[in-house]
Amino acid sequence: MKWAQSITVTLRTIRTLSTVVTCHARHRRMLVRFAGLGLGAATLTTVAAASGNSNVDVLTSSPDVSSFMAEPVTPLSTLVKDKDDMKVKMEMLIMKIQADFCRALENEEDPSKKFIVDRWTRAEGGGGVTCVIQNGKTFEKAGVNVSVVHGILPVDAVRQMKARGKELIGKELPFFAAGISSVIHPSNPHVPTVHFNYRYFEVTQENGEKMWWFGGGTDLTPYYLVEEDVRHFHSTLKNACDQHDAGYYPKFKKWCDEYFLVSHRNECRGVGGIFFDDFEMHSQEDCFKFVKSCAESVIPSYVPLVKKHRNDPYTSAERDWQLLRRGRYVEFNLVYDRGTKFGLYTPGARIESILMSLPVYAKWEYMHSPSDGTPEAKLTEILKNPKEWI
C-alpha cells in the first residue's frame, strides 16, 4: 500500500530546532532528521512511497528562504507548487533583493542599529514586509518595502491606468501586484539619496484575458554634485541594461529624466538613472531577467558612494540645504509619483508603507535660491538641465 505525508516546518522552528520525524508504514519505518543549520529552507515536504519491498524515498525541499528578512507573503506550499509561475518568481526575487540590500546597508550603519522588520497582511488579499532603519548614524531613514497584493482593482486605479494608455476592459478587475520599493535618506549631506522600485503586475479583464507587465527603475538624488559618483552610478546601471539590449539604457535614462521632473519647480528630482513602465515587449521570462539584472545592480551602484562619503565633515549650512532639497523630494512623491497614487487608490492601503519614502525631516523656505557660483547653485543648474553622464 502506498502512502504520502507532508511535513511543514515554520521558518522560526527550522532555525531553532533539530526535529525528528518518524513515519510509519505497513512494513516499514522511516526516520527523517533535519536541522535548520545547513538546510536553508522554511518548509520541508517529505513524500515517502513504501510497500512490502524497498522503494526509493523522495525528498523534496522548498526554495531557500532562510536568508529573507521575514517569511514570504505567499504560503510556502504555494511557492513550491507554483514555483514556475511568474507571480512566485517575482516574489522570490524581491524578497532576496530586500534581504541583500538591507544587509548591505546594515554593514554601513552603527552595529547596534538594525532594520526593524514589519511583516503585515492585507484583509483584501496579500501583504508585505516593510524594513526600516530610523535615526541611525549613517541613515536618518532607510526603508525597503516588499508588497505582494491581490484583489479587485478599484475604479480609480483602472481609470489611472487607462489614462496612460492601458486598454483595460471592465471597471473593477482582479489584479496581482508584487514589487519592491526603497528610498534611502542618509544623515550626511554628502551621501546622496537613492530610490529604486521594481514591480510585476497582472490584471484579468472581464473577457477573461490576462494582461501582465513589469516596471521599475533606480535613480539618484545627491545634495552636492560629485560628477565621478554620478558617472559610477550611471555606468553600473548601463552595464545591467547592456546585458540585454544596448538600446535600453539611453531609452530608459531619458524616460527617467522626464518622469522625475517636478513640473511646478521646472527641475528634476535628482540626477536620474533609469525608469521604465509597461515593459512587456518580449517574453515574460526575458522581461523578468532584465528586471532581475537591474535590481541586482542597486548595491554596486549605490553602496560604494555611501562608503566614500558617510564620514565626510559637513556644516550646518550644508545640512540646511539637504533639508531644503528633501522638501522637493516630498513634493514629487506626493504630487506626481505613480506608485504613491496607486497605493492610495488601492482598498486596504497600508499608509505607513506607502509613505515610507518620506524623510523624517524636511524643510521649506519662502523664495529660497542658492547664491551664484556656489556648490548648491551648481547642483540646481544640473537639475534644471539634465545631461548625459556617460
Question: How much is the pLDDT for 338?
Answer: 80
DSSP states of 322-369: HHHHHHHHHHHHHHT-HHHHHHHHSTT--HHHHGGGS-S-----TT--
| Predicted local confidence at residue 162, as pLDDT | 54
Q: Any idea which of 145-149, 169-173, 384-388 has the lowest mean pLDDT? A: 169-173
Cα separation, 328 vs 326, in Å, equals: 5
- The answer, yes or no, to whether residue 195 has pLDDT greater than 90, is yes
The answer on pLDDT for 20 being more than 50 is no
Residue type present at position 379: L
Which residue, chain included where needed, has cell 524616460? Answer: 255
Compute the chain's Rg from CA coordinates: 24
Tens digit of pLDDT for each residue in 176-189?
999 999 999 999 99
Residue 285 confidence class, pLDDT cut points 50, 70, 90 = very high
C-alpha 103/C-alpha 120 separation (Å) is 21
Pair 293, 276: CB distance under 8 Å: no
pLDDT value at residue 163: 53
Confidence (pLDDT) at 249: 98
Our CA angle for 293, 294, 296, nearest 5°, is 65
Q: State the pLDDT at residue 39.
A: 32
pLDDT of 21 higher than 80: no
C-alpha cell at 332: 514629487
The percent of residues in the chain predicted with pLDDT above 70, rounded, is 80
Q: Please report which helix (H) or strand (E) contains residue 79, including its range.
A: helix 76-81
Q: How many residues does the chain have?
A: 390
This prediction has a pTM of: 0.82
244 classed as catalytic: no
pLDDT digits (tens, 9 = 90+) for 101-137: 999 999 999 999 999 999 999 999 999 999 999 999 9
Q: Which of 185, 190, 195, 234 is catalytic?
A: 195
* 201 or 11, which is more confident: 201
